[in-house]
Amino acid sequence: MDIPTEAPAPAKAESPADSIGPYRLLEKLGEGGMGQVWLAEQSAPVKRHVALKLIRSGIYDNAVARRFASEQQSLAIMEHPAIAKVFDAGSTPAGQPYFVMEYVPGLPITRYCDQKKLKIRERLELFVRVCEGVQHAHQKAIIHRDLKPSNIPVTELDGKAQPRIIDFGIAKATPQPGADQTLSTRGGAPMGTPGYMSPEQADPALGDVDTRTDVYSLGVVLYELLAGVHPFDSRRGQKQPFDQVLRQIREEDPPNPSTKLSQEKEASTATAEMRGTEPRQLVTILGGDLDWITMKALEKDRTRRYGTPSELAADITRYLRNEPVQARPATPGYRLRSMCGAIA
């Protein structure tokens, strides 16, 4: 369930009570299968706006309660500037569990970058910080499993963009992880958001999900940040049936970002303008290393994908430094061109 990243709607939804402890409920921000998220005003010991998440009345059982508690614990054990913080937890008088977390009134990362007309370098620098946050979660044995732009809102602190990863509602924890280990969980039906699921998430018969599923989702977000369109969008604004989306994820290879941008001729001018450049120049910038990096993150065979978010971030950092990237075969000629090249 997403916490909307724009101002909440003015109409107040029904609530279990006007207040829960020191938290006065203001507006219902979102609702999913498990719970509701409310914008609330905390009165003590400090006064501030927070996001309060509680299990929806009448639907919770032991399994839902365990999943809710798992999300709370997942957030509580993480301490990273790119991950929303948990402040408090408890139960309502009616017995509904809740927890209180940082309210992030930002925009989804893709929309923020477009609104600010960030250049490719600036987008990549912001994306690297997201990768670092996801890596931190993995080091705490937490796999997010639902990374997408709306779950990566960007706010500003002292005039600087700050991404915050939210919504660990379908996250999975694994026991005794090592910082560099690949973590695994077993699942059943597909869980996640169509279009951002990894091929292994989209295959109910497989059900084996590890940290590389988050790498794939990060790859989709990176693709959108670069090309301004989803990898599998055939027509802007046209939604496809759920089973068709899953089939595409499992079986089809999307075009690389530069090719996709070339195909989106009608929208390429606006896309380039939001990145501070011209369509032809943007295609040139995306071609080569950025195509290779993005498509490696989107490999259907996860053994060929980046093993961790930090590996993805490291390759982007190499690109930003004009160093050879690992996503591309490092021939002598390529290494020489990388040393002499420059990026916009």
Where does residue 190 fall: left (phi above 0), alpha (psi -120 to 50 degrees), or beta otherwise? beta
Return averaged pLDDT per consecutive 10 residues of the chain, 344 residues in all.
36 60 91 78 93 72 67 78 88 83 92 97 98 94 91 92 85 49 47 86 79 96 96 66 84 94 87 95 96 97 96 98 87 54 47
For residue 244, the model assigns a pLDDT of 83
Q: What are phi and psi of 278, to 5 degrees?
A: -105, 155
3-state secondary structure labels for all residues of the chain: CCCCCCCCCCCCCCCCCCEECCEEEEEEEEECCCEEEEEEEECCCCCEEEEEEEECCCCCCHHHHHHHHHHHHHHHCCCCCCECCEEEEEECCCCCEEEEEECCCCEEHHHHHHHCCCCHHHHHHHHHHHHHHHHHHHHCCEECCCCCHHHCEEEEECCEEEECECCCCCCEECCCCCCCCCCEEECCCCCCCCCCCCCCCCCCCCCEEECHHHHHHHHHHHHHHHHCCCCCCCCCCCCCCHHHHHHHHHHCCCCCHHHHHHHCHHHHHHHHHCCCCCHHHHHHHHCCHHHHHHHHHCCCCCCCCCCCHHHHHHHHHHHHCCCCCCCCCCCHHHHHHHHHCCCC
For residue 172, the model assigns a pLDDT of 65
Burial annotation 280-292 (CB, 10 A radius, 16+ → b, else e): eebbebbbbbbbb
Fill in the amino acid letter for 192. Answer: G
For residue 209, the model assigns a pLDDT of 84
For residue 185, the model assigns a pLDDT of 45
Range(s) within the chain of domains with CATH label 3.30.200.20: 19-102
For residue 338, the model assigns a pLDDT of 53
CATH superfamily of 19-102: Phosphorylase Kinase; domain 1 (3.30.200.20)
For residue 202, the model assigns a pLDDT of 87
Q: What is the pTM of this model?
A: 0.82
The arrangement of secondary structure in 107-340, i.e. its CATH architecture, is Orthogonal Bundle (1.10)
By annotation, the residues acting in catalysis are 146
The answer to whether residues 94 and 57 touch, using CB atoms and an 8 Å cutoff, is: yes
Range(s) within the chain of domains with CATH label 1.10.510.10: 107-340
